[in-house]
Amino acid sequence: MGINIGVCEMEAKNAVCRNDKNDFVKVIVDDPSQFADAAEIDEFVSLEDAKDIFPDFEEFIKRNRINEESDAIYIEKVKKEEDLEKLRPKIQKKYTGWILLDRLDDSKKERAIGLSKPDDRLTRWDLLDFDQMNDACARCPLSWDKGRGCIGAFGPNNSLLPQIAEKHDCRIIASALKSSEEQRKFTPDDAKELLKEVEILKVALPEEGKMYVRRYSGPLERLEALANVSVKEGCGFLFF
């Protein structure tokens, strides 16, 4: 398991992803019936009913390319229209738990978000595909990792760089492991101190040995890039 570094992009007004990450699209709530008009619903036919309708059930599964381990036949997965027509009389419906927020007015939308847990919320950013995210990161001024984004690797948990940093009184880098465990957020002012620490360690590494230069020059380069963006964009950073 390793330690990563990243900027707090939501604190930066120039972050390309910021608007999308603040735009909630759907959330899960415990009682979706209170938002019935906006509740996402699954339509399905039980396996028992489907097997009664299609005696050659294996052939039905095969031609519709349905996973054999499915717990029911979900209507959206049925590809053959003639099969769909036979299933319609036995269709059942159930709430998925998801609420589609674009179907709610502002007050109900805020209420639904408030009733959901942070991990049960999807934003417009979450709905982007890999290529779209890469394109956004490549255009973002916070993308300190050579256009790949605002998150990068610090190193493994057993990295000796924090120990070397502690020897040279570089408190931020020395605290990397503890800070990642505590989920501590550093400020842009801390980033200025981090830049000083990077310069100190650039000089110190050759004194520690060539192996340490080869091993830790990369992390120092990434820390420097991260700190520069943190200072320039006025956003914090963290180890995680």
The identity of residue 178, as a single letter, is: K
Tokens of 104: 């709610």
* pLDDT per position as a tens digit, 102-129: 999 999 999 999 999 999 999 999 999 9
* Residue 184, phi then psi, degrees to nearest 5: -70, 140
Q: How many residues does the chain have?
A: 240
Cβ atoms 176, 2 nearer than 8 A: no
**Lowest mean pLDDT segment, chosen from 19-23, 35-39, 168-172, 208-212:** 208-212
Instruction: Say what the pLDDT of residue 208 is.
Output: 87
CA nearest 223: which of 203, 206, 201? Answer: 201
Residue 204, burial from CB neighbour count under 10 angstroms (0-12, 13-18, 19+): middle
Across the chain, mean pLDDT equals 96
pTM: 0.76
C-beta separation of 125 from 21 below 8 A = yes
**Residue 180: which of 11, 7, 3 has the closest Cα?**
3
DSSP letter (8 states) at residue 2: E
